[in-house]
């Protein structure tokens, strides 16, 4: 009994391991896979080019992509096309990260947001507007009017992967 009381007494002065969620949020691990984010370039253009490789790679058939044509008057992303519809069904998603691996422009990324509750079935469909990250400082929202011939390349030049 004394040993039990000593354990209780000791724990009264220890730092608690629990936190006051949702007021306080715990930092996630670096490799945590949370809600997807559609990334932008620094100038505000969307990285997604509507190629649907993520949808093809998804083992749960959770992604739906529909592409439309970019013009220099109304440009959403570099290159010919952008994703005019991009949806992820979070009920289907198993957070495997295959979509992230398949994307040629590093547009879709599994972020650190784990607050994915919804009360209706429709709420599980995350649309392009919900997934797109905000425009950073110095960037402009899409669609943008761009200089003809400046953004013809859909996939940016990338460094060779390191071993
Ligand atoms: S994380 Fe996996 S299951 Fe979820 S959308 Fe991406 S590829 Fe599909
Ligand atoms: S997120 Fe990546 S793989 Fe998916 S449609 Fe956009 S560019 Fe293609």
Alpha-carbon distance 95 to 18, whole Å?
Answer: 26
Cβ burial of 37 (10 Å; 0-12, 13-18, 19+) is: middle
> What are the φ and ψ backbone dihedral angles of 84, each rounded to 5 degrees?
-80, -25
Residue of 55, 86, 93, 100 best suited for mutating to test ligand 1, as the one with most atoms within 8 Å of CB: 93
Global pTM value? 0.87
Tell me, yes or no, whether 105 lies in a domain.
yes
pLDDT digit string (tens) for 30-41? Answer: 999 999 999 999
Alpha-carbon distance 113 to 32, whole Å?
Answer: 9
Give me the count of residues in the chain. Answer: 163
pLDDT at 161 over 70: no
Domain containing residue 43: CATH number = 3.30.70.3270
Instruction: Give the pLDDT band of residue 156 (cuts 50, 70, 90).
Output: confident
Cβ–ligand 1 contact at 56 (below 6 Å): no
Tell me, yes or no, whether 34 lies in a domain.
yes
Tell me, yes or no, whether 7 lies in a domain.
no
Tell me, yes or no, whether 126 lies in a domain.
yes
**Residue 85, domain extent:** 28-131
Give the pLDDT confidence score for residue 160 in this predicted structure. Answer: 74
Tell me, yes or no, whether 94 lies in a domain.
yes
Number of domains present in the structure of the chain: 1
Cα R_g (the chain), whole angstroms: 22
Tell me, yes or no, whether 54 lies in a domain.
yes
Alpha-carbon distance 34 to 119, whole Å?
Answer: 19
Q: Which residue intervals of the chain are DSSP H helices?
A: 2-11, 53-57, 98-102, 128-131
Instruction: Give the pLDDT band of residue 23 (cuts 50, 70, 90).
Output: very high
pLDDT digit string (tens) for 49-92? Answer: 999 999 999 999 999 999 999 999 999 999 999 999 999 999 99
Q: Which atom of ligand 2 is nearest to the CA of 86?
A: 5
List the beta bridge partners of residue 108: 38
Q: Which atom of ligand 1 is nearest to the CA of 110?
A: 1
Distance of CA 14 from the midpoint of ligand 2 (Å): 48
């Amino acid at each position: 009994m004394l040993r039990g009381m000593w354990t209780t007494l000791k724990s009264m002065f220890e730092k608690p391991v629990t936190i006051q969620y949702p007021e306080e949020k715990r930092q996630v691990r670096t490799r945590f896979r949370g809600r997807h984010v559609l990334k932008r370039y620094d100038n505000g253009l969307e990285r997604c080019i509507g190629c649907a490789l993520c949808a093809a790679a998804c083992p749960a058939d959770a992604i739906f992509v529909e592409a439309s044509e970019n013009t220099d008057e109304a440009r959403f992303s570099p290159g010919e096309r952008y994703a005019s519809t991009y949806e992820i069904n979070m009920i289907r998603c198993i957070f495997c990260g295959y979509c992230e691996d398949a994307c040629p422009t590093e547009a879709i990324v599994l972020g650190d947001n784990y607050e994915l509750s919804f009360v209706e079935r429709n709420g599980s469909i995350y649309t392009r507007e919900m997934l797109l990250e905000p425009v950073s400082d110095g960037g402009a929202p899409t669609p943008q009017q761009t200089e003809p011939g400046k953004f013809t390349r859909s996939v940016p030049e990338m460094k060779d992967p390191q071993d």
